[in-house]
Amino acid sequence: MKFWLKNPPRWAGVGGAVALALAAGAQKPTPKPQALTPEQTQFFEAKIRPILTGKCAPCHVDGVARGGLSLDFRESWQRGGGSGPAVVAGDPDKSLLIQRVKSTGAPMPPGGRLSASELAALEAWVKMGAPDPRSATDVKTTSKMTGITDKARRHWAFQPVERPAIPKVKNAAWVKNPIDSFVLAKLEASGMVPTAPASRAALIRRAYYDVIGMPPTVDEVRAFLADKSPTAWEKVVDTLLASPHYGERWGRHWLDTARYSDTTGATQVGQNRFSDFRYANAWTYRDWVIGALNKDMPYNEFLMAQLAADQILTTKDDPAQLAALGFLTVGKRFTDKNDLIDERIDTVTKATMGVTVACARCHDHKFDPIPTADYYSLYGIFSSIDEPEVGPEIPGSGDPDKRADYEAQEKVLLDKGRVAYYEYVGEHLEAFQKKAAGYLMLATANVRSKEGSELAEKYGINPSNIRERDMLRILQQGVRSSKDTPQILAPFNLLQRLPESSFASQYAVAIGKMLGTAPTPAAPVGRFARQRAAQAPRAGANIPVMKLNPLVAKELASLKPRSIADVAEAYGRIFAKVGEQRAAYIEARKRNQVLSVDSATAQLIEFPLGLPPASQFSSVTNLRKLAERFRADNRAAARFPFDDLNRLQLTHPGAPGHAMVVEDVEEPKDARILIRGEKQRPGDIVPRQVFALCTPGSTPQPIKAGSGRLELARAIAAPSNPLTARVLVNRVWMHHFGAAFVRTPDDLGNMSEKPSHPELLDWLATHFMETGWSLKKLHKWILLSNTYQQGTETNAAYEKKDPANRLLWRANLRRLDFESIRDTMVALTGKLDPTLGGKPVNITDEPYIYRRSVYGYIDRLFLSDLLTQFDVSDPTMANTGRISTIVPQQALFFMNSAMAVDVARQVVAREEVGKAQSDEEKIRSIYLILYQRSPKPEEIQAGLGFLSKIGATAQGPETPAATATGKGRLQRRPVVKTPAKKGMGVGKFAPIRNNTEMVERKPLDSWELYTQALLCSNEFVYVS
């Protein structure tokens, strides 16, 4: 150590602050580790461990530990050195590890900087407290942490689902169906009884929000309160389940699980600078989900279609049903295909079976019986599929009356792209034709060598310039193969191989061979003449007669060069001459005209990039393929109208929708295990097959044909699968009660808690499968139970026994999610557009639109501030269970947003409010509209007092949603282009904008202010 500090290795000075600063310090006391949540462990295993093992381990593990820093275990980086620990949990800015990898000095890791996504993952990890399940103590005192054990396999969720016996209870009169028996049995065992039923007004409000995500109307509430028949409640339930709004509500729940988004979440996909940021057709998958749920498609078929609709007889030829494959394709995109496959494995296994298979990417799963080989069996399945750039068109998906307008606008943009292409190519051709000799010479040399540098300097070419480097790349491909341009480059390609010492003498023979003018050589004479002739190098040997460009042939035929440089100069003269006609030629092409030049000249003008005819610019796909040759130039993307084309496809009502499909590759292949998840360390090949958890009691069989998606889909949807039905029932229960049996709905593995009601979970799972996997029947069973119909009144003694209400002795008070809050506000304006399906709209920004929130544009890279403030699910991964927070921004939305002002104004303008004969009657009408109940006497008095203080005719204060002009008068605010907020996408990444009207700006009167105040109450956003 002393020697190292005195004589540090050469990388120590640039390897920087982390290794050297931590090398010599005294050890600090190690903080006591806290228990990690399953989500934290999963994040570490999926995002952080691959970085530490793949990028940091070569220098910072026990046994190497350069600078004394090891990252093998939690204790290692906590201990650190003289300058403190490598990571300060919760504070990335103070963490030396983050400082070092973000440093603009020498790269760290030495092999190259971390990618933006890797750096973001590290910072997010530190912010969440740097959870790290790796402990040196565990390794020293226990055997290897692994889920490949009999104990892990015996986990309750991995056992076959069996129907348990319905328990007997003392208070049998309370039981309406078996759900009540299971719940009541637990309560009675704990000396507890259920809470009294909820009021009928509260019950209908609860059911409406649960099933369709919107409140009942005043008339619907009155009708239910007036219906005294024993089937009144069942009729309400049946009506709700038959509503088309059911699919919208429950479709939104599934879209959280399916990590639905209208954007890729990546600034570019792979190396394609011209890839679209927005998915133009993700909405077709969303619409398929809504339609499937409204039709009550059996859940097993629902899952199978999303994995293999193209291979199922009933759906494979129906484009509308092929949209189900969007489940695989609407996820986040990456520059590395391995990450894309990992994302799909993670989503499929979490969404359908509630297991975290992606944790086995680098090693056997630490907690569940999922070996790395199982992960790579699935990897083989998902690496054996491909995506066509444009999927099949869905009939009827665009407005036929507006199709012609869409196509006309698309043609204008494609023509703009064609002109941009010609202009861009023209600039490249001009640069090439002026320095053609230099480009050809550099294309034969190593640009980074001394020779290359000398050539670049001689011909005035700068290889570091993007455009000139791009031209060299294109020419190098042509010079080395001449496959695409044999009439022009073939001679140069062959002549550069001639020996420099005899170039002049061999040139004439070689060029003669190419042109078919070489004389037949005389027969050898003399002793051993044939032998000497055979052994001597022959100019033009194996050179065939070529059909060359006439202008090239003419120039080369009369040339007497001494070296290949002279040949390059001849080419330079050819291109310089034809370059005189280039501008006129390209201008004619831009106008879709043909300039009358001979074919030889035209061929040379277009070399080496080509100027395809206008017919080849007839689609976005063709334009993208042509523009791809300029992908190295980051300025090229701004020249082409891909963003405008994408926006047009996404927003124009006449644009047809296309299914975002996948298809099997022609030759599916099994995958190799990547040791520690590193693609540089391939291991054994594993066959494509279903992973073992899908098929308890039997051995998975290798897949012989196709990718294996269909076999995987069948295994997931099989009644024998122990997880699929349990996972679904657990989630449905969560959405109806506010808490699931197992409170980690995307992970039922060994790290999850035990179910609150394991027998009820299994009973419902078996009943669900036996009744045809029908979601609507499952809902009805739950809604008709007395368990569901309990009130929310609390009990102090029970709160002590069961503070989390896990035994369900009452109904949970639940805050509405963002979609329900906004949909309620839209419905209250009286402007709700009930149209099912369609392209996404902006639901957060003005000008507002009055569609349901499920049709909102979701941007996974720049998620709207309003959506995050109201806890909308993160669309970067499967997220079935949303969190629920209370933050000031939520209240500010109701107080300050133009949407809240508009709702208050529209409610007061409603007919039933306007016809009220007294202020008390007016207050009752507003309460019924907002809360679906009548006000209490004290609430009426409070309302009258509020109105009295403001004054029945006084204008309220100016609201932030209005703009003052003149003496206190408020006028409609003009639409202005405001600067983007921090974190908001701009340009190519900007959110879509609605073509609608802004909210009217004028003062609120006293009744409108009163109504807005009621919107700010807890009751408006909670369901009891």
Please write down the HEC assignment for all residues of 731-751.
HHHHHHHCCCCCCCCCCCCCC
Confidence of residue 297 (pLDDT cuts 50, 70, 90): very high
Residues 50 and 359 sit within 8 Å (Cβ to Cβ): no
Q: What is the pLDDT of residue 560?
A: 92
> How much is the pLDDT for 158?
95
Handedness of CA 869, 872, 878, 883 (dihedral sign): positive
**pLDDT above 60: residue 951:** yes
According to DSSP, the residues that pair with 815 across neighbouring strands are 1022
Tell me what pLDDT residue 680 has.
Answer: 85
Q: Which residues, 6 or more positions from 953, have their beta carbon under 8 angstroms from its beta carbon?
A: 1005, 1006
How far from 798 is each of 181, 737, 794, CA to CA, in Å?
A: 19, 18, 8
Distance between CA atoms of residues 8 and 24, nearest Å: 13
Select the more confidently predicted residue: 664 or 514.
Answer: 664
CA distance 177 to 180: 6
Asked if omega into 197 is within 30° of 0 (cis), the reply is no
Q: Which residue has the higher pLDDT, 784 or 980?
A: 784
> pTM to 2 decimals?
0.81
Residue 256, token pair as written in the block: 């959280």
Higher pLDDT, 939 or 92: 939
Does the pLDDT at position 382 exceed 70?
yes
- How far is C-alpha 245 from the chain's CA centre? 26
pLDDT in tens, 547-568: 889 999 999 999 999 999 999 9
β-strand partners of 272: 269
Helices (H), 86-231: 96-102, 116-127, 136-141, 150-153, 178-189, 200-212, 218-226
Give the model's pLDDT for residue 577.
Answer: 93
Closest by Cα among 135, 111, 269, 72 to 676? 72
Residues 6+ away with beta carbon under 8 Å from 568: 436, 437, 438, 440, 441, 492
Question: pLDDT value at position 272?
Answer: 60
Q: Per residue in 815-832, pLDDT tens?
A: 999 999 999 999 999 899
Which of helix, strand or coil describes residue 814?
A: strand
Q: Which residues contact 612 (CB under 8 A, 6 or more apart)?
A: 626
Average pLDDT over residues 117-142: 75
Amino acid at 554: K
Distant-in-sequence, close-in-space partners of 32: CB < 8 Å, separation ≥ 6: none
Greater pLDDT, 273 or 854: 854
